[in-house]
Amino acid sequence: MDTFDIARSTAIVTGANTGLGKETAVGLAVLGARVVMTSRDPDKGERARREVSERSGSDRVECRTLDLASFASIRAFAHGVLADHAEIHVLVNNAGLTLSKRSETAEGHEATFGVNHLGPFLLTTLLLERMQASAPARIVNVASDAHRMSRRGMTWNDLGRTRRYRAFAVYSESKLANILFTRELARRLAGTGVTVNACHPGFVNSEFGGPDDTSRLMSAILRPTARLIALSPEKGARTQIWLASSPEVGDRSGAYYHRCREKEPSAAARDAAAALRLWELSETLVGG
């Protein structure tokens, strides 16, 4: 493509079997994109694929298995999608989690940091060469205003949270990592035709933060509140769909958005030295 056209694009959306990811897949399919959904569970993924195809009226929707808590799964997914798709124009790093108790990924990394940052980092870097060859192309990282809670920046001396684990603090730091990753990646991609931006979807009433991911106490607090004030997944997905498709942001890269408007992230998220340090550390941790 000489100019970006979502209707002629191939778009990958992670965590697309539910919530924001599923609505993003629907939105991009409605716009004409060929959509590659991902899901940890093949059965849930197939059910979601059928729903997305039916709701969008598109037969160009597929779903592949991807577990961001496993580097082997990420590499297998990337190998398969690169073999089957000559071009990749959009990557929406949507999948994420929050855990009430410390857990580890297959490679032994703290799971929230692993799934929310290291997994997307590895996936993106594995697909980057193909996306550059397919340019113009776009990467959208779903972050959160929760990153503002990490005022002091990354906990460099204990990213694995082996000394003290507080669920929301760990989640907030992983979202800070999303924005730092976005800014450093944008710097590296300058002039390539591939842009990368981050967004805050808002407080969304979805399965994220439900009983599978958080403690019963947190669910008991969040669920009633969500029903009263939270956005629907459809509304929450609007900004990431817009970033993935709109001509308005065709030349913007390295920015942070909420409600389809650019928003300044925290001072910690604007730290260029921290962004570079996180990139270099991430390369080491994923075996890059």
CB 56 within 8 A of CB 48: no
Tokens of 187: 């710097």
* Known catalytic membership, residue 256: no
Q: Which residues pair with 194 in a beta bridge?
A: 137
Tell me the residue length of the chain: 288
Tokens of 134: 């397919």
User: Which residues touch 82 (CB under 8 Å, ≥6 apart)?
Assistant: 88, 126, 127, 130
What is the spatial distance between Cα 239 and Cα 188, in angstroms, rounded to a whole number?
24
Residue of 165, 171, 256, 257 marked catalytic: 171
Phi, psi of 228, deg, nearest 5: -85, -45
Q: Which residue has the tokens 């890269």?
A: 253
The alpha helices in the chain, defined as continuous H runs, are: 19-30, 42-56, 71-84, 111-113, 119-133, 167-189, 216-229, 233-236, 238-245, 272-286
Tokens of 148: 């503002």
Tokens of 137: 């192309």
Tokens of 74: 């990420």
Tokens of 133: 């060859």
User: Which residues touch 176 (CB under 8 Å, ≥6 apart)?
Assistant: 147, 150, 153, 154, 266, 268, 269
Active site residues: 171
